[in-house]
Structure 1
Amino acid sequence: MVNHENLFIKQVSTGIYDEKIRNLEISLPFCLLLYTKDKPFYISFDGVIHLITKDSAVFINKSIPFSVLLNWGRLENGLARTDIVSLKIPQQAISEYIRDYLQEDLLEAKKASMDDYVLINLNDKISEDFKIIDSLINSFHVTSTGDVIYDDVDKAKYMLILSLIQKTSPKLEGIILSCSSLTISEKVSNLVMSDYSKNWTSKEIAKTLNMSVSTLKKKMYQDVGAVNHFITKVKMIEALRQLRRTNLPINIIAMSLGYTSASYFTSVFKKHLNIFPSDVRKQDNNLD
């Protein structure tokens, strides 16, 4: 059986629902379905905040920055949220669904009208479909990293989940179609996320992606900027997630991200997020 808490903790970075705290919205290289089985939660897109209740869900396009905002006081400990469900949609499932179930001649037209995210109102008719979706998600077997082992049985489950999701809103077809291929930055992000402790070089990434170093750097710069800066950003997002979603000591977090020195990790974190790792924990504690 799938562990909702592990999936949520490993897949989604969280911020704090507090006007005094500036939250970091982050992007992920895959489409994501989020909903709650109990208490509501907030989610922000480009500073616009939405409330997700038991009567709603949100489907997020890949590489769209967002932040799940939680209250971190005594009434709602962010570490204890086990009711929020997050389903990462594998790129393989997206590609196979488009190939087998969507009309290719509509691809470009749908891409042009794609949305960053879609809020789904779970009315009586749709909620029945979501009961099936929730049951399918619960049936997935996951690895220690929270990923689903993608085999023929799981493929069939994803195909049904995507078809049920697509039924809820015409806009969702455009999002699904827009995810037909990975950008170079999404491929690099997937590599880094597969092993945060590895310190990737441009040469190693280029070899893995079957391209020259110069081509990699050129495509990455056109997409998101310098390779090393992008890798550091991905790692700092994971650092922020661990600081807010786990009780791990800062030196252990640093090691998990490939930093042999906690002090160097701290300086990099401060440079990129303009706050010390220890102060992130202090802010969270101040809300108790």
Structure 2
Amino acid sequence: MILILFQGYILGNAATEPTVEENSKIPFAHGMGLISNELYESLKMGCGGEYVNVDPKNEVCLNDIQAFSKLTSEIEGAHILEPRCPFSSPKPRESSRKRRSLNVNEQSQEFLVPEPPLPTIGCRTYGYLLSYYWNNDYNVRKALRIRLGSKGEWQRCNFGLPYAREIHSSFSYHVSLSTKGYRSLIYSGDHDMMVPFLGTEAWIKSLNYSIVDDWRPWILHSQVAGYTRTYSNRMTYATVKGGGHTAPEYRPAECYAMFQRWINHDPL
């Protein structure tokens, strides 16, 4: 048995409580100026703050959610200031054959489902595409000492892989770890709409621990790098100004400084 001396953990833009985080997208979009005051007020009144589990008979709420979806459909969720680009990478070879769907008629006519578009130069996601080719290059694999034939194609994400999601919320783990006194650093890129900082702050608040160091800016190179707050359960929460999903990809210097201070038990 291998014993691990667990002392704490760090989570960034962490999907924790899906319903809370999904519900936070609308107030986040309003705060960022993506939807009008009138639509936001109508959403709050018609939906009562619940935008996920909506009564199918509530036409006012459903119509407003549809309007919200249309207004934000061309926004890049990972970072609302970035251009919207395709995210997909090439599919693994075993599933890269053109998928076929059957049109149910007498002749069972077949038609091809088009492959999703790939990112182009100028998109941040173009680097994701290049990483696929780099990691599957023979010379790279040789340099990494990957035995020929021992591994299949490398994929950056699990899109298209058959798996069942068994844990839908990790909130209970935070409850357990908090009661055991482990240190934690939870941070959010403040321009991420996939897991908005408002949702993260909501589930942290529901842990119901008192604040020991209240909301204040944290500084790097004499500039505000974000905002932070510390709780009595030894949890530090921080936003990363200008960060997206995930924050270090967009603000590496700030996130490195944040990590270095936390791991050294220094205040942000």
Determine which structure has greater relative contact order: mean sequence separation of CA pairs < 8 Å that are 6+ residues apart, divided by chain length.
2
Q: TM-score range by the shorter chain?
A: under 0.3
State the structure with more CA Rg: 2
Q: Indicate the structure with greater helix content.
A: 1
Q: Under a length normalisation based on structure 2, what TM-score does the superposition of the two structures give?
A: 0.23
Q: Under a length normalisation based on structure 1, what TM-score does the superposition of the two structures give?
A: 0.22
